Amino acid sequence: MSRRRSKDRGGDEFNVSFLDVICCGFGAIVLLLMISKNLPPGALEESEQKLDGQVAALQDQLFKIRGETRVLNRQLNAKHEQIDEETSGLAILKSRHQQIQARYTRLAQSAATDEKLKGRLQLAQQELSIEMERLLGRDHRNKNALVGGIPVDSEYIIFIIDTSGSMFNYAWPRMMDELIATLNIYPKVKGIQVMNDMGNYMFSSYRGQWIPDSPSRRKAIIKRLRTWNPFSNSSPVEGIEKAIRRYHANDKKISLYVFGDEFSGGSIRRVIKTVARINKANAAGERRVRIHAVGFPVLFEQYAGSSITGIRFAALMRELTYENGGTFVGLNDYR
């Protein structure tokens, strides 16, 4: 009896607890219904729309920020590249600065050495001058400045160039080198003229006149000379006589340079006499025009069997330069 009652009492307690839970849940549902009745019908939808709009706006802002971030990243990368280039350029400039500074130091040391040498040379020159004055007397003066044995005291220079086939085809590059070297001997003159052995002018616009000396004029002469090839009879006599008759003057120091390889003319003695007549000496015994010559041995190598005109050219120029205060230079090779 007692066990049975206790079982019935436990079942009653379970049934009461279940009813309590059901009632509490029902009450909660009623409470929610009462609360929801106080809200407007479209409030929830409106709230959802606002939230959607905010989300969309935030997404737009996010996209804009991402776009700006990409632009800024590109600009940042460009700045980094620019910094790298400038850093590299700065390194190069520093290297060049160091090189220039080292070169300046070397030049300064060299200049100091040069100053010492200059002082020694001046002292030696002074001692030499004193010794020369003691040996030669106070009235001694060096009449001519010599370069390679050629007097270079002239203020005007004339070139007489053999433009024959033998010269133009074989000796032309060497002839140009000799002409350039001759011009370099005279850093500055008052006038230049260029004629061929027939007396034809290189520049017809300066016929009978002096070509003014300037770096641009010298370049023009060299440029024209490369292809200048007028007719020639392989004899320099006509050009020499024409140049002396046209340009000789008592108040001018003139040097005439003959570049050639042969003399096909007649009597050498007659040429010497003719030049002596038109190139008269002054009171001091000096000729108005100095005559120098450079001989190119083309015929001796290219035409060994007919080199007589080359021999006659050398004989003529030796005598002519000697009589007219100049120097004859016979080259060993025309190349």
Give the pLDDT score at 276: 92
pLDDT tens string 282-320 = 877 788 899 999 999 888 776 655 678 888 999 999 999
pLDDT tens string 13-41 = 555 566 677 777 777 777 776 665 555 55
Give the pLDDT score at 1: 46
Residue 239 pLDDT exceeds 50: yes
* Mean pLDDT, residues 239-251: 92
How many C-beta neighbours within 10 Å does residue 252 have? 15
3-state helix, strand, coil in the chain (%, to 5): 65, 10, 25
Most confident range, picked from 123-132, 153-162, 325-334: 153-162
> Residue 317, class by beta-carbon neighbours within 10 Å (0-12 exposed, 13-18 middle, 19+ buried)?
buried
Give the pLDDT score at 132: 47
Residue 5 pLDDT exceeds 70: no
How many C-beta neighbours within 10 Å does residue 218 have? 15
**What percent of the chain is modeled with pLDDT above 90?**
39
Q: What is the pTM of this model?
A: 0.57
Give the pLDDT score at 49: 67
- Integer Rg of the chain from CA: 54
User: What sign does the dihedral 145-247-206-241 (CA atoms) show?
Assistant: negative
pLDDT tens string 267-279 = 899 999 999 999 9
Give the pLDDT score at 169: 92
Looking at residue 165, its amino acid is G
Give the pLDDT score at 42: 58
* Mean pLDDT, residues 247-254: 89
Residue 157 pLDDT exceeds 90: yes
Q: For residues 163 and 168, what is the distance between their CA atoms, to the nearest angstrom?
A: 6
DSSP-derived pairing of the beta strands 156-161 and 191-196: parallel
Mean pLDDT for all residues in the chain? 80
Q: How confident is the model at residue 46 (pLDDT cuts 50, 70, 90)?
A: low
* Mean pLDDT, residues 145-169: 81
